[in-house]
Chain A
Amino acid sequence: DVKVTQSSRYLVKRTGEKVFLECVQDMDHENMFWYRQDPGLGLRLIYFSYDVKMKEKGDIPEGYSVSREKKERFSLILESASTNQTSMYLCASSYGMSNQPQHFGDGTRLSIL
């Protein structure tokens, strides 16, 4: 089975802190994704990556950056956390071939105080 692991289930940080969210997948997937999920808004794509050291902006990249130094690991960085970044963050991965489903981790519930 595909395993997508997010480093923390719950995280509390303060406004202005630099926050790192880590995601690791064990299926040698080429593609990796970061979403945030907020009530009534569904999932929104922040960034995605099709290969090592490669990144593409999603729909809401402002205030975030990403890093993909190794194929299995995709990090989301909040450069200077703000209260409006309090959310559930979900990581996903998929094979690079067409028509492949994305597989998700269990999410990190991040609170910015």
Chain B
Amino acid sequence: DAKTTQPPSMDCAEGRAANLPCNHSTISGNEYVYWYRQIHSQGPQYIIHGLKNNETNEMASLIITEDRKSSTLILPHATLRDTAVYYCIAVLTGNQFYFGTGTSLTVIP
């Protein structure tokens, strides 16, 4: 499974879009990109995943570059409740999920 690299921390103003980057330059053609978040004292929460195409659901949008070497998770209108650690994971179907240390997002009032 490809290694992912994320910035350790980011800030975002409340109501603005939060754009969280992830680098996965060694990703293979069959590896999916998953995003999770973890709010303090809770288990990781699944957000979204994709392979090649951009994806959107009620929580967020996932933009994957054409070469698939990086992706961006977009929270369109960040709220204080979005303050959490966000994890980007690249995983081959059927393989284990490896969570790194993620990006700590702080939404500022």
Contact = CB atoms under 8 A, between A and B. Distances in A.
Q: Which of B34, B46, B101 has the most CB of A within 10 A?
A: B46
Contacts of A92: 43-44
Nearest to A4: B43
A106 interface: yes
Interface residues of B, number: 19
Nearest to A96: B94
Interface of A: 4, 35, 40, 42-43, 45, 48, 58-59, 90, 92, 98-99, 101-107
Contact of A43 (B41, B49, B51, B99): B99
Interface of B: 32, 34, 41-46, 49, 51, 93-94, 96-102
A35 B52 CA distance: 29
B43 A101 contact: no
Given A43-B44, A106-B43, A107-B42, A101 B49 contact: yes
B34 A45 contact: no
